[in-house]
Amino acid sequence: MKKLINAPDDVVAESLRGFEAAYPGRVRVDHAMATVYRAEKPLLGTVGLVSGGGSGHEPLHAGYVGHGMLSAACCGQIFTSPVPDQVLAATRQVDAGAGVLHLVKNYTGDVMNFEMAAEMAADEGGTEIATVVLDDDVAVQDSTWTAGRRGTGATVFAEKLAGAAAEEGRSLAEVAAIARRVNENARSMGMALAPCTPPSAGRPNFTLAEDEMELGVGIHGEPGRATVPLAPAAEIAEQLLTPVLADLPFSRGDEVLALVNGMGATPLLELYLMYGEVQRILQAHGIRVVRPLVGNHITSLDMAGCSVTLLRADDELVGLWDAPVDTPALRWGR
């Protein structure tokens, strides 16, 4: 394992120290709680947005804390969900009298820890909490026989759009409804060219031969569908989009927000190339990308590969997407 670290156990804490130093006056880090807040106080009467999850997916979630997006992000250990204490502390901090929305990716640990935090908050009273669980990944069969679909790329859209709605001063129910609508209208599929290496494990968390790729991978490298032969980018784009398009289903005339996301070790050169392929395929299906987003947004440490997320949009969602945002990782219009 070759990494820019000091000790595996200290990676998250030390990274947060650097993160805070890199964005002075913009974010504030509670180091004891490993929780990131906006530097400015929450605006009275606005809904607070709290998300979080295991670390290793940067810029998610800490990179999206700021005006127009998250109020706070709770950082768990690498690939391990945060604990309820973190979520509860963040919830209390960002409560500005209009309630707090928990945005949770559908992973067993994340769901349970956020659920316990919400239960603890309810026991103590005071803060109204709504929870939206994101589960956009079509690679996982959604049945009673699995933990359900994973939350992946739609999380970025949900954080941005619900964040914009909260910034407008909408109610908790309305902000939660936006997040739910994002989840209902978004679908994703990912793939890996090479595994990642969690620092505490010290070695890759799965194996792939030189001529193989993993199709339907999650954001920790968990498999979804199959190990298949490596193919040219145009074909990979088809393999990712075919199940995505069939699932919602998306249809001719749809307008979408499209995310081509890098898993951490894939250069932008390749991600832009992939976006070109995605755009070409969508065009052939009569689907128009109204807002594209290309880059590393929800990563898996040093995993190579990408995921594609499509969100069926309407004027309201596009308007919320265009609203000003000012976070370390996403910034426009302000």
Partner 1 sequence: MDTGTTPTDSTLTVAGLTAWLRAYATLITRHEDELTELDAAIGDADHGTNMARGMKSVTALLADRTFETLDALAKQTGMALVSSVGGASGPLYGTFWIRFARPLAGLAEADAEELGRALHAAVEGVRQRGKAEAGDKTMLDALLPALDAYDTALAEGAGLSTALARAADAAEAGCAATIPLVAHKGRASYLGERSAGHQDPGATSAALLLRAATR
CB-facing half-sphere around the CA of 88: CA atoms within 13 A: 16
- Is 102 assigned a catalytic role? no
> Can you tell me whether residue 303 is helix, strand or coil?
strand
Nearest to 71 by CA among 84, 62, 80, 58: 62
Quote the CA–CA distance of 327 and 257 in Å, as a whole number: 20
Q: Is residue 198 close enough to count as binding partner 1 by CB under 8 A?
A: yes
Binding residue for partner 1, selected from 51, 80, 152, 185, defined by CB under 8 A? 80
Q: Choosing from 102, 220, 285, 297, which is the catalytic residue? A: 220
CB-based contact 200:301 (threshold 8 Å): no
* 159-167, 180-188, 220-228, 286-294 -> range binding partner 1 (CB under 8 A): 220-228
Q: Choosing from 31, 57, 285, 297, which is the catalytic residue? A: 57
Q: Is residue 152 close enough to count as binding partner 1 by CB under 8 A?
A: no
Q: What are the tokens at 36?
A: 């990131």
323 sits in the region (left: phi over 0; alpha: psi -120 to 50; else beta) called beta
Q: Is residue 223 close enough to count as binding partner 1 by CB under 8 A?
A: yes
CB-based contact 135:148 (threshold 8 Å): yes
Binding mask 252-291 for partner 1 (x = CB under 8 A): ----------------------------------------
Binding residue for partner 1, selected from 13, 26, 28, 85, defined by CB under 8 A? 85
Binding residue for partner 1, selected from 59, 76, 153, 328, defined by CB under 8 A? 76
Quote the CA–CA distance of 119 and 146 in Å, as a whole number: 24
Q: Is residue 146 close enough to count as binding partner 1 by CB under 8 A?
A: yes
* 19-27, 36-44, 184-192, 196-204 -> range binding partner 1 (CB under 8 A): 196-204
Binding residue for partner 1, selected from 10, 31, 39, 108, defined by CB under 8 A? 108
Q: Is residue 81 close enough to count as binding partner 1 by CB under 8 A?
A: yes
- For residue 185, the tally of other CB atoms under 10 A from its CB is 21
Q: Is residue 205 close enough to count as binding partner 1 by CB under 8 A?
A: yes
Q: How far is the CB of 77 from partner 1 (least distance, A)?
A: 6
Q: Is residue 6 close enough to count as binding partner 1 by CB under 8 A?
A: no
Quote the CA–CA distance of 261 and 266 in Å, as a whole number: 9
Q: Is residue 207 close enough to count as binding partner 1 by CB under 8 A?
A: no
* 124-132, 194-202, 263-271, 282-290 -> range binding partner 1 (CB under 8 A): 194-202
Q: How large is the greatest C-alpha to C-alpha distance in the chain, in angstroms? A: 56
Q: Is residue 201 close enough to count as binding partner 1 by CB under 8 A?
A: yes
- For residue 25, the tally of other CB atoms under 10 A from its CB is 7
- Is 57 assigned a catalytic role? yes
Query: Which residue is listed with tokens 């755009």?
Result: 279
CB contact burial 117-137 (16+ within 10 A = b; e otherwise): bbeebeeeeebbbbbbbbbbb
Identify the DSSP state of 328. S
Which residues, 6 or more positions from 334, have their beta carbon under 8 angstroms from its beta carbon?
67, 68, 324, 325, 326
Binding residue for partner 1, selected from 1, 40, 141, 251, defined by CB under 8 A? 141
* 78-86, 257-265, 305-313, 318-326 -> range binding partner 1 (CB under 8 A): 78-86
Give DSSP secondary structure letters for 141-156: --STTSS-PPP-THHH
Binding residue for partner 1, selected from 112, 173, 230, 268, defined by CB under 8 A? 112
Q: Is residue 145 close enough to count as binding partner 1 by CB under 8 A?
A: yes
Which of the residues are catalytic?
Answer: 57, 220
Point out which residues bind partner 1 (CB under 8 A): 54, 76-85, 107-109, 112-113, 115-116, 140-141, 144-147, 150, 198, 200-201, 205, 218, 220, 222-224
